[in-house]
Amino acid sequence: MAGNSVYDIGSVNSPNHYPMLQACVPSIQASIPQQGIMPMPMFTPGQHQQLLRMLEQTSIDETTGSANMVGISFLPILKWIIDTGASHHMIGDPRYLQHKDLIENAGKVQLPTGDSANVSHIGDCHIGGGDVFRKVLCVPAFKFNLMSVYQVTKNLNCSVTFFPKYCVFQDLSSVKMRVIGEKEDGLYTLSSQSNNEKVTPQRCLAAT
């Protein structure tokens, strides 16, 4: 999917320039973003158009999507769009993050709409089965969640194989299948159950 990307990676609001990023090399370290440089989502033209249609259909009502029972807030199942070009995982709701840091002046990412949006938090996201995504970027203006294939294969020691109607995540050590994603409206997706039910303390950091 990344080979036909309609995006170019570059710097945003930064005096510095990193040529390696323009080569679409997933070399951005999984750390607090610096110098205002953010990885951008990468899709084929068809996937890009489908994502734009999904964005148009998404409600801007921030109060929907969670249930409350006896004073405890339960977050809905988290649906990820599997992205072979993203160098970081990205979500739109900070409630799914644990051990999260509030980031100041972290720079921006370019959205599929062409707009730029701020990164507000970075933290860990529990996806069920004991697996955790580390250093996940939170972009509240983006209403979807991107799963970085690069980060998954690197940190969870697995491979991802794409088929016409689904994709398979396979453990490299045991060769056992971990999970299956499905193709939905031209995009590969995977749903995960988060256990982030409680509000966690935040630390405020200034990106330099």
The structure's pTM equals 0.64
- Chain centroid offset of residue 132 CA: 13
Any alpha helices (H) in the chain, and if so which ranges? 19-22, 45-57, 149-155
Gyration radius (Cα) of the chain, Å: 17
Q: Is the dihedral of CA 16, 108, 185, 89 positive or negative?
A: positive
pLDDT tens for each residue of 53-75: 766 665 433 433 433 334 445 67
Of 25 and 179, the structure prediction assigns the larger pLDDT to: 179
pLDDT above 60 (res 172): yes
User: What pLDDT is recorded for position 4?
Assistant: 28
For the cut 50, the answer to whether the pLDDT of residue 91 exceeds it is yes
Does 41 or 112 have the greater pLDDT score? 112
Residue with the bigger pLDDT between 115 and 15: it is: 115
Q: How many angstroms separate the CA atoms of 25 and 141, rounded? A: 25
Secondary structure letter of residue 19 according to DSSP: H
Q: What is the pLDDT of residue 97?
A: 93
The answer for residues whose C-beta is within 8 angstroms of residue 147's C-beta and 6 or more apart is 80, 81, 82, 83, 86, 89, 133, 190
Mean pLDDT value across the chain: 70
pLDDT band for position 111 (cuts 50, 70, 90): confident
Total count of residues recorded for the chain: 208
Q: Which residue has the higher pLDDT, 202 or 82?
A: 82
pLDDT above 50 (res 190)? yes
The answer to whether the CB of 92 falls within 8 A of the CB of 140 is yes
Angstrom distance (rounded) from CA 84 to CA 148: 6
Q: 103 vs 66, which has greater pLDDT?
A: 103
Domains of the chain: 2-54+80-197 (2.40.70.10)
DSSP 203: E
In which band, very low, low, confident or very high, does the pLDDT at 38 lie, cut at 50, 70 and 90? low
For residue range 141-166, what is the model confidence (pLDDT) as tens digits?
Answer: 988 899 999 999 999 999 999 999 99
Q: Look up tokens 């994603």; give the residue.
A: 181
What is the pLDDT at residue 188? 95
